[in-house]
Amino acid sequence: MSPDAEPDLFLGGALRLHQPPRGAHRAGTDAALLAHLVVPGDGALVCDVGAGTGAVGLGVARLHPSCRVVLVEREPDLVALAARNVRENELDARARVIAADVLAPGSARHAAGLTPGLADVVVTNPPFFDTRRGRPSPNPEKACAHTFASGGLETWLRTCTDLLRPGGRLGLIHRADALPDCLDALRGRFGAVAVRPVHARAERPAIRILVTAVKGSRAPLRLLPPLVLQAADGRFTPEAEALHRARPRAGSAPPSQ
């Protein structure tokens, strides 16, 4: 897999990202929303689980200059691109890549460096589909990024739980219709769950959910006001436009806190 010759500008040019060629999975709006989702404390260690080329984790690093970031990715081509993006964005001092399979048994994950309680914050954009729901993409890179084996979300979020210290925070983005599966996987492990639906337009059903949660909390679930991406004229709403840049506009809160 050869990346595009020119890097993409991400978060309004705050990052230059080398990505797979068109047709494979590439970072876009979902990654921008997730990068803004959880605000880490000073000096926090943030794990981007299933990092791909590192868009989300490096976005967090750019947004929060005191935090440290670990990019976790399995696919060798994406590991190489993520490492290149760390170097070329001059984030070597605060970001590193761990090549590991999120779905591997605990002993293998721990040996790879994904040790229990490693992170203060985990952000993740898990594969959106499992083999019970339709056929995977014929593009192998896209299929790998988008598709789980049956039950994969439960295992994926179990790994995220293991990575977090007690009281650590999780941020994830998923399809709107996956909300029941996400809540099932979080039950018993997380509390203070906050769900924000994301709509392409105000009059249309939600297409994504942004979810935050706190490991070990017993606080109740909150359903937050929606995030609408496009106005009637098809342009980004002010909030959505701000979330595609390195800094939200004044008064624009992260999507879910």
pLDDT at position 150, please?
A: 57
Class of domain 26-243: alpha beta
β-strand pairing of 222-223 with 190-201: parallel
Pick from 115, 80, 118, 67: nearest CA to 2: 80
| Three-state SS at 168 | strand
Whole-structure pTM value? 0.88
- Torsion sign over Cα 27, 28, 34, 39: positive
Alpha-carbon span 222 to 25, nearest angstrom? 31
pLDDT at position 100, please?
A: 98
pLDDT digits (tens, 9 = 90+) for 188-198: 999 999 999 99
- Token pair of 112 as six digits: 């790879």
Query: With a cut of 50, which residues of the chain have pLDDT below it?
Result: 137, 139, 143, 145-146, 248-253
- Helix 179-186 × helix 152-163 angle, to 10°: 50
H runs (alpha helix) in the chain: 29-35, 55-63, 76-88, 106-112, 140-146, 152-163, 179-186, 238-243
pLDDT at position 26, please?
A: 77
Amino acid at 224: L
pLDDT digits (tens, 9 = 90+) for 59-93: 999 999 999 999 999 999 999 999 999 999 999 99
- Token pair of 204 as six digits: 């249309």
